[in-house]
Chains A and B, each alone.
Chain A
Amino acid sequence: MIRFDVHVTAAGGLHARPAALLVNKAGQFQSKVTVIKDQKKADGKSILGIMTLGASLGDWLTFEIEGADEEQAAAALKELFDKQFES
């Protein structure tokens, strides 16, 4: 399992658009993706789950990724945050 933290730097936090992009990216991999904020866990493949975390600008999120392609999934998801969801 790979575990890493990201800092939410997008203005407005993980609102509908970034949540959708995150879930879309997570869905491209077989691995199970869990996103955690303050002990609240959400399925990284559920848009509503991610939105319900209510991650705002400045929050830290922990990702837990487990599966055959966890390394690729982790790299792709980190990149999303590095680029602030701009493709």
Chain B
Amino acid sequence: MLRGLFSRKKQQQEVTLLAPLTGEVVALTEVPDPVFAQKVVGDGAAIIPTEGVLVSPLAGSVTHLFPTHHAIALTSESGLEILLHIGIDTVKLKGEGFTPHVKAGDQVKPGDKLISFDLDVLQKAGCPIVTPVVITNGDLVAEKKVVSTGSVRAGQEPLMQVIVKGGAS
């Protein structure tokens, strides 16, 4: 009983994801790949980049850098898992056109450079350049909204606001 009285409510945390790319924000449903468009990977947003520099949307750590450097997964301090997938079908480029600036296990701050990429290489290979930004552990999300529409600047403007359920840490 007493414990019930004194137990503190686990606090929800609000996390802001900055735009990881400079470009145009579009709905995930417009991504020409059903696993992203139908949110099988997770919910979020997408950006059509105008510059080939991917930056970190939040403070956290690099959980996984794909060996082909076309995608990266981050885990925020609050436990949110974010997948940033540069372009569509870009796994087939086998790393060509991508230059990573971090490795798995690195700590990153919002705005830190993660991967540079050559938009020309993607386009010449016929890969759509639209880049999904999704939360892969949506069960941790109490609420989220995409706060940007139109054009955004990488690392400078918010893309999404997420409320993470309490007790994640």
Contact = CB atoms under 8 A, between A and B. Distances in A.
A21 B68 contact: no
B83 A16 contact: yes
Interface string A7-39: 000011001110011001000000000000000
A74 to B, nearest CB: 21
Interface string B75-96: 1000001010100000110000
Given A15-B91, A21-B35, A52 B40 contact: no
Given A46-B137, A48-B137, A15 B40 contact: no
Contacts of B35: 16-17, 20-21
Contact of A15 (B42, B68, B75, B81): B68
Nearest to A17: B35
A80 interface: no
A54 B64 contact: yes
A56 B75 CA distance: 22
B161 to A, nearest CB: 21
A51 interface: yes
B83 A52 contact: no
A61 interface: no
Nearest to B91: A12
B127 interface: no
A73 interface: no
Query: For chain B, what secondary structure do more than half of its interface residues adopt (helix, strand, loop), or is it mixed?
Result: mixed
Contacts of B68: 12, 15
B93 to A, nearest CB: 10
A12 B40 contact: no
A36 to B, nearest CB: 17
B64 A24 contact: no
Interface in B33-68: 33, 35, 40-42, 63-64, 66-68
B154 interface: no
Interface in B1-50: 33, 35, 40-42
Interface of A: 11-12, 15-17, 20-21, 24, 46-48, 51-52, 54, 56
Task: Return the 6 tightest CB-CB contacts between A and B, nearest first.
Answer: A12-B91, A47-B136, A20-B41, A52-B64, A48-B81, A15-B91
